[in-house]
């Protein structure tokens, strides 16, 4: 037990040192710290995040492989006050699309939070979200980018995190430099994502 505790303490000391000092100068420490943080997030649907630090480690490009729209719930379940039995109601297509819209923007918002909280040297993040859709030209699948945003640390710090329940991720992303072609009801069209320069 003492050997295991000493081993655990050594690993924790190394992690804390990496997260407090290494993230300021060592790109490998930055990558490991962010990868560990993103792996800790318990996404409700399968969500894969890939990132690439810029040459000077002051910029980062993040690509998010989003879940498909068909993975959103199609029913609303309620427990009426006067009965102990669940009742369900089918959601309209528009309501399902709006749920999906809110979900994918929330994912981007959460990933941006992890980037700016764990990597203090990063000054600008370029975050893009895509999903796989059928490709009628080949019969296979292709990546459809839904949004792409450039977010500076200064812009990110303008958000009032003490009133986070009042922040809507859809509108929050629109406050940054954003490429998104989306209707009011949540129908997305292809966009060209920002690249890390």
Q: Could you write out the DSSP letters of every residue in 72-114?
A: S--EEEE--TT-SS-EEEEPPHHHHHHHHHHHHHHHHHHHHHH
Residues in the chain, total = 197
Per-residue pLDDT reduced to its tens digit, 111-135: 999 999 888 889 999 999 999 998 8
Per-residue pLDDT reduced to its tens digit, 160-184: 999 988 999 999 999 999 999 998 8
CA distance 50 to 78: 37
CA distance 100 to 146: 11
Angle value at C-alpha 178, between 146 and 138, nearest 5 degrees: 25
> Which residues of the chain fall short of a pLDDT of 70?
17-18, 22, 196-197
pLDDT of residue 184: 86
pLDDT of residue 18: 65
Q: Could you count the other beta carbons within 10 Å of the beta carbon of residue 56? A: 9
């Amino acid at each position: 037990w003492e050997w295991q505790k000493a081993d655990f303490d050594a690993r924790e000391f190394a992690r804390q040192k990496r997260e407090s000092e290494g993230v300021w100068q060592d790109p490998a420490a930055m990558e490991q710290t962010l990868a560990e943080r993103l792996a800790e997030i318990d996404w409700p649907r399968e969500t894969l995040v890939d990132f690439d630090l810029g040459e000077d480690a002051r910029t980062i490009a993040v690509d998010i492989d989003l879940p498909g729209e068909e993975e959103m719930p199609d029913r609303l379940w309620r427990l009426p006050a006067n009965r102990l039995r669940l009742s369900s109601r089918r959601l309209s297509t528009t309501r399902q699309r709006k749920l999906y819209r809110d979900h994918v923007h929330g994912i981007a918002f959460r990933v941006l939070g992890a980037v700016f909280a764990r990597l203090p040297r990063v000054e600008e993040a370029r975050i893009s979200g895509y999903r796989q859709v059928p490709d009628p030209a080949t019969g296979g699948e292709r990546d459809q980018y839904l949004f792409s945003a450039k977010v500076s640390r200064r812009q990110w710090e303008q958000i009032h995190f003490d009133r986070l329940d009042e922040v809507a991720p859809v509108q929050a992303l629109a406050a940054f430099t954003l490429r998104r072609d989306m209707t009011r009801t949540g129908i997305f069209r292809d966009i060209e994502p920002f690249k890390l320069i």
